[in-house]
Structure 1
């Protein structure tokens, strides 16, 4: 998410300066690579790069290709085969072991449906969206359609095609991606051509609600900001909950616990951390959050504190099932030996990321399988009439 935010800002700056830009997007990967499909990099005509499509080994060549795309005003698909042991082709030691497809599109600022404009539209609200990018793997020298369709939950569909059977299939698959909450790659064979579509799910930024405006909440907001998360700090103490103390937070609210939820928008990317160091405030927040089954609620403090809070709520008559408690994490954070507030913030942010990604948060060294599922690399083909 942070990458998309940075790319949009860089594009806006380039427009003010009157500079041309091109967008490089990883659209397909076979095997191992530093970045996965959906990774993006904006290239400015003066060589400024925003975002990344690799660990740095592909950027130099991609810059040259992007400048060519700007001159020709034509999208191009570039293949980097890092399985070849002869890395002299690119003049670098790649260290990866995969085949990476990069689509480079020159950006026409006059086109309201250019890829960056669509990303701007996505960032303007907190809705899941889908962006469809079409390309030809078999005939890379041919015209590459590029970014061609965009839609969000309950929103209009941007993009249209002369081939109505292709349009119908892409819209149906975009809706399926929204439903399944997972991107897909599919090849569409028509009587005229064969095109591959990267149908990408775009998720809103994580919305982190921090109950507590103490000094230990400051590094948590700062780390969340680095990730592009949107943070809201709430507390009942006006001298603590100030914009001056939390300059990177999107909102700082001086409110009682029962006033918090009406002032924020809840969705499946919203997470909470309760760290006011005020037992009654945290308990009041937990009382409201438990029935909602939020994706993640972290509670700072020892396990006995959380157990006491839950017992108190049950004594009040609240029925708590195992399902209700699945999203409650206390003591909050991964076990990394944290002591300082900065280290605790790192542990908390890491745990939130692991939970939202449905990962265990264990060392990659101990992972038995590859880091990224090879199932994601399979391309299913459909034939359209």
Structure 2
């Protein structure tokens, strides 16, 4: 989500300067590819591109096509086939065994919904962006409709009938929580599901919380730091934090409206405070709850709360087993574990995986 925010910010800035630009978006993939649908590359008329759509092998060609799109103003749907049989045709020699379809358009098409999309991201609201890849006489490629989870729309495709069709497609994507390319009423549409970024609650503002906040924020997560010691809760100490809580520990879950996209870590290093943090967090439906320190310490916390039955809900000690030492390595281990939980993975070695890395199969 942070990459999308960067692209939207760049589009707005360049538009205000009156500069031309092209936007390339991956809309579908087949086989093994470096990026997935929704990845973007913004090609400005002047200056460096923003974002990426590959590991570097396609950017040059995408930039070239983007400049052609800037010149003629016509959107293009391009297929980049990197399968072994097609390597010589494309001249990449990569053997990635995958193909991707990119929609490359004048980025001005995105202006109509950019502000509303940024607001939805900032307000942490789910939405679906529907982009016309190929249209009709009444609906032009590049037209957009932003559908919100509450049923409201921003932008539009140019007709009430097309808007109704796009809204129905978006509602299905929102319900499935998945993006898809769909054909309806002679239109080819890319329905891109955009979920709010995960939220992380860090309970404890000690020195070991600093890298954890930074690494999670680098992923675009919204990070709140809680501690009863108000002097520790400063933007100088945690410049990447989006919020601070200096309230009673037993009220933190309610204060942040903890839900299934909320991740939390106990790292106050104070036993009595951790009991109260844990009491509050066990009452919420969290995506992840981790606790620093030995597992026997967490078990004792649960005994004092008469909640030993909840031990399987807690990742204790928090983090993947990578042998990390020191605040930075421990923070990496915790962030990696939270990502594994988010994506339904075990956190093992990719070399041991028998299925494609972007599928849920083991």
Q: Does 1:198 align with 2:194?
A: no
Which residues in structure 2 correspond to 1:93-172 (within 5 Å)?
A: 93-108=93-108, 113-114=112-113, 116-136=114-134, 145-161=141-157, 167-172=163-168
Post-superposition shift, 1:19?
1.6
Q: Which has the higher contact order (CA 8 A, sep 6+)?
A: 1
Deviations 1:114-144 (A, max 9, x none): 4x3453233231111111123249x9xxx96
Gaps of 5+ in 2: none
Q: Secondary structure at the match of 1:10?
A: helix
Deviations 1:64-83 (A, max 9, x none): 11112122222111111111
Q: Distance in 2 between matches of 1:373 and 1:186?
A: 21
> Pick from 211, 218, 224: which aligns with 1:232?
224
Q: Distance in 1 between matches of 2:216 and 2:195?
A: 16
In structure 2, the partner of 1:337 is 323
Q: Secondary structure at the match of 2:105?
A: strand
Q: Secondary structure at the match of 1:130?
A: strand
Q: 1:294–1:327: 8 Å Cα contact kept in structure 2?
A: no
Q: 2:128–2:194: 8 Å Cα contact kept in structure 1?
A: yes
Q: 2:252–2:281: 8 Å Cα contact kept in structure 1?
A: no
Which residues in structure 2 correspond to 1:1-385 (within 5 Å)?
A: 1-83=1-83, 85=85, 87=87, 89-108=89-108, 113-114=112-113, 116-136=114-134, 145-161=141-157, 167-188=163-184, 190=185, 193=186, 195-314=187-306, 326-373=312-359
Q: Distance in 1 between matches of 2:226 and 2:247?
A: 6
Post-superposition shift, 1:9?
2.4
Q: Distance in 2 between matches of 1:146 and 1:187?
A: 15
Q: Distance in 2 between matches of 1:124 and 1:293?
A: 23
Q: 2:250–2:279: 8 Å Cα contact kept in structure 1?
A: no
TM-score, scaled to structure 2? 0.90
Q: Secondary structure at the match of 1:38?
A: coil
Q: Distance in 2 between matches of 1:11 and 1:229?
A: 22
Q: 1:221–1:249: 8 Å Cα contact kept in structure 2?
A: yes
Larger helix share, 1 or 2: 2
Q: Distance in 2 between matches of 1:118 and 1:373?
A: 31
RMSD, aligned CA: 2.6
TM-score, scaled to structure 1? 0.85
Q: Distance in 1 between matches of 2:62 and 2:294?
A: 50
Q: Distance in 2 between matches of 1:83 and 1:230?
A: 38
Gaps of 5+ in 1: 376-385
Deviations 1:317-361 (A, max 9, x none): x6x75xx55542111011111111111000100111111111111
Q: 2:120–2:127: 8 Å Cα contact kept in structure 1?
A: yes
